[in-house]
Structures are given as C-alpha cells and as structure tokens.
Amino acid sequence: MSSKRGLLPLLTLLAGWQLMGDAASIALPPPTEWFKALASLHADGALLPALAETLSVYLLGLTVAVIAGALTGAAIGSSRRIDRALTPSLDFIATVPGAAFVPVAVLLLGTGRSTSVLNVAFAVVWPILLNTVTATRAIPAVRLDTARTLGLSPPARWWKLVLPSLVPAIVLGTRVASSTAMIVALLVDIFGTGHGIGRLLVERQQNLDAPAAWGLLLLVGVFGYLTATVLARVEALSLRHWQRSDQ
C-alpha cells in the first residue's frame, strides 16, 4: 500500500502534464503522445524485439550476478585464507562504478549478447557478494558445530544450514543490484553492444522523436517499479521464513 501511495505525486505530475502539455511540442509532449509513439514503434516491429533483448540481458546478467556473488561471498566469509587472498582486490574493484567498466569491456570482449550479460553481472555483483560475506560470517558457530556433531555432510550442511541463513542477505543484495542492472543493460545498448531499448532510445533521440523517447523511458520506469515491488515481496517472505526457522 505504501508503494502505491508513493506513486501519487508521479501520477499527479503526469495528469498535470497531460492537461497543460502541447501535442506539437518537440521536447515535452503530453503522455498521450507517448503511447501513440509506442504504438507506432510496435506497429513497425521495433518495440517488442528491443524490449525482449533488454529484458533478457537484464535477467541473465542479474542471475549470473546472484549465483556468482552468493558462491563467492560464502567462500570468502567461511575461509580466512580466501578472505585474505581476495578481499583487498575486491574492495578496490567494488569502489569503481559499474558503468565505468562498460566501455572497457566492449573494447576487450567485443560486442554481442555474452558481453552484455557479463557487463551487467560484473557491474551488479558487489552488493550481493558483500551482503553474502557479512551473512556468512554472522552464522553462529554453534550451528555449524551442531551440524558436524550430527554427522551432516558438507553438501547437507550447505543446503540445510548455510543457504537458509544466507537467503535474506542474498535477496537484499539482489534488490539493491536490480536497479543498477537495468541501467547497465541500457548502457551496453547505447555503447553499441546490443539492439535493445537503449539503442532504440538513442535512435529516437537522434531523430528528435521526443514522444517515443519519453514512452521508452516510461516503459523502463514501469519495469523497474514492478521489479522492485516483486523483490521487496520476496525479501519480506524470506525474512519471515528465516525468522520462523531461527526461533
């Protein structure tokens, strides 16, 4: 309910924009013109392929980041040797904005789907990794000792004890990384490594097609809002389940 209330200022702004906007404006057309431009892009067969390209890169990159961040974070958090070997370098790399790696990756890896996915994954893995490290270190030692006393194998300890304790931290890191993943997915299009919404947005801007540009930005915003809402719900459910299992 609170997230829906937070949309009220935006909806009010759009309503006022619609009432006072000029359909002939080349910079600030009213929202109805956005939908007409999106319908035109759809009729031309350009909208759905670009949307599918961007969403697939976003989802694949975020999935790779979740897997890599969770596994690497758990390894660092549970081993002092790995911690000493990797943490200084990771702390240095994590301070660099993820978007700064996009042009470098394009020069080194070339263009293509794999480059786009790796760009997204590398840019957003850090909050997931760091949250997982913290959560792994916070697991009470008595739990691990109890698991060893019960004779659980390492895979069983990971599946039944470690992973449930890490899920809230992983979900929280994923929620933080989600918005950055969408930004990087658009950037890799803009830098020429894809044919998604970012590339289509640049083309519409170059053609001075303001309604289409605003419409594409609206699509990105709607997807970001829906993703944030879903991840917030998953985070709440995971925390509730973790608290029950912790009692």
The answer to whether residue 129 sits within a structural domain is yes
The answer to whether residue 146 sits within a structural domain is yes
| Half-sphere exposure for 57 (CA within 13 Å, toward CB) | 32
pLDDT in tens, 62-80: 999 999 999 998 888 888 8
- 102: CATH: 1.10.3720.10
At residue 194, the pLDDT reads 67
The answer to whether residue 29 sits within a structural domain is no
Provide mean pLDDT across the span 20-41: 87
Give the predicted TM-score (pTM) of the model: 0.83
Lowest-confidence region among 106-115, 129-138, 212-221: 106-115
At residue 69, the pLDDT reads 92
The answer to whether residue 131 sits within a structural domain is yes
What percent of the chain has a predicted confidence (pLDDT) above 70?
89
Task: Count structural domains, the chain.
Answer: 1
At residue 60, the pLDDT reads 94
The answer to whether residue 7 sits within a structural domain is no
The answer to whether residue 14 sits within a structural domain is no
What is the pLDDT of the chain when averaged over all its residues?
A: 82
At residue 154, the pLDDT reads 73
Residues 6+ apart with CB under 8 A from 29: 21, 22, 23, 210, 211, 214
Cα-only R_g, the chain: 22
- pLDDT of residue 238 exceeding 80, the answer is no
pLDDT in tens, 178-235: 888 988 888 888 876 668 898 899 888 888 888 999 999 999 988 888 888 888 887 7
Provide mean pLDDT across the span 107-116: 75
Q: What is the domain range of residue 136? A: 34-246
Asked if 168 and 178 touch (Cβ cutoff 8 Å), the reply is no
At residue 62, the pLDDT reads 93
Q: Tokens for 127?
A: 């909050």
At residue 212, the pLDDT reads 92
- pLDDT of residue 46 exceeding 70, the answer is yes
At residue 90, the pLDDT reads 78
At residue 15, the pLDDT reads 86
The answer to whether residue 4 sits within a structural domain is no
The answer to whether residue 123 sits within a structural domain is yes
238 CB-contact burial (10 Å; exposed 0-12 / middle 13-18 / buried 19+): middle
